[in-house]
Structure 1
């Protein structure tokens, strides 16, 4: 007997779930109905910056994840431009904004997240953009004015990507970050300073430890400048908000589902809500109270739910490794483990080579031998080795590990900059 699975959301994680089920459901146990809010099928949101940098010839179709096999699959009904507005758990139906009511035997919420825009005066002026969808980046590209200044509010990963895209579109980029340094979630102040110095040489000007006071219009009513809390005024032909996201959990409380303490649909380690017919995955899911803003954990959640729906052994979702290795504006940056030394008694080994433009910090347990985490900027060549040693006793001294040449003897070498 064929049952109906409704998936609300067709982002990268929702698409992964649909593909996993269709690949494995040889008996045709599930007919899948996808309620997709955007006007296009799932696409590679991670590569939006590449699309923005592509100029007028950039092809959004190159980002598509949904092939013709799925679009033509009679067991998969993907409904574009369809926003789910209500869930009736008793009737087991989902109502869309156009009034369509879709029944389900199982329901998976994969609604993702929405950009957070802080309540700054002038945030709705023409020339202000979010950085989330294909339509967002195409609007930014159309508004870019070579030689003029653009301001990105938010100095995290997405903000730096946006700043680089503006630079490649011929604009002068400013990045405004309220934290004392760039990438505050991934790196520490030392690495942040190295990153700021290096991107400054590329023409991207960071402004850290400051708050945006207002966005100011010009005579034409469009945004013309950004005023910071120290009264600094930055010229701005356009402004891009990259100030984080919030889980889209709008369907939870009206349908009687619980939200996590910081938002998101509360689920257990199998991504199940208290309703045995409803799951949540991806950025909208608060797994045992915690939301994950990365696509890799979302894929693992999707795998877990697909297995349950198909009656296969399902490995519980046990959290995610948030380690990362990136190249931002040509600058290598990496972090892993307890990069902020939050473990009680943790020790920090720091090596800062100013002339080379590189910075490294290793965080060790109080035995000075067990590697807990670290931060690298400017040179991340030692990252694979260091990441593999996380939580283990180091086979060599910190300096040798940073050089990528461990040995298995004692490490009593002179080691600078312990804190």
Structure 2
């Protein structure tokens, strides 16, 4: 097997024309050769690319694979001999146990299914407010700025206690982190500005607590520096991933009119529709792990210190796990997608995202029965494949008045 093992020498940088929802063809081809491929990291360092569902899931659950930032090789940038520093305090996505649990555990009780469902009424009101504003302004509009971005922004900022007047700046700064097009200089400036703001916010919450998650955490033994890092992770995850799911998901529904009609005809389909859109789109498309010791995966030995790219979007399109994986089917019954990851780092805010998506999609298609693209599909401006989170930059839509 070792001699015929498929090798990928660079992550693809584009999707096929006319196929904005499918993973890049090179990754789909790699999966056809088998669930694991050799990968050559920039600078010639050997590593691995895992594209199969079962193997991605197994690595995510295996403590022999690390999430530590300082152990990772960047999949597309050669840092040479530069030593990457550990993740700052509080940024628990890039940590292993026990540091990871120090930050995640205090948050888990605040993002339970029950607590997130209690937010449903507030999410419904925010959604209606934005649909009303769209209707009042009239067509056409950019669904990203009018609907997809502000709803999750308001929700996560209210949860964290970010003042209303500061939310627009946060959206822009977070977009700079993840859009794949920001220059290094501008990215550093946006990151620094966000860090500075959050540091001031933590101090303000300690002095004058309000009814929000960040204020609650000031009662713990967490330091200001740790709280700042935790807030940054929650803001970045809560703002951008859901916003892109709403916009890209609407684009996908508009390109699959029979599925859109099914959702409009049966609002009870919302739960299944959301899970299928999460699987089909997989906007958080790749993650990394590094082996702490020699580990056998899929018949191959991954050596200690080697980094592994986990391809969520091909895993969620794995034909050995999902029937007709490249078809969007809102009535699909085979659950278990990896859009939120798996294992100890599984997305903390997944229930919040589900609430937002289950409310927003049916409300949008019900309010605007004639909703359609205002430009040809191939003119929709997509984020580049280099973006951490895939999606659309803008989604021009119109409807009959």
- Scaled by the length of structure 1, the TM-score of the pair is 0.26
Task: Indicate the structure with greater helix content.
Answer: 2
Task: Indicate the structure with greater strand content.
Answer: 1
Larger Rg: 1
- Scaled by the length of structure 2, the TM-score of the pair is 0.26
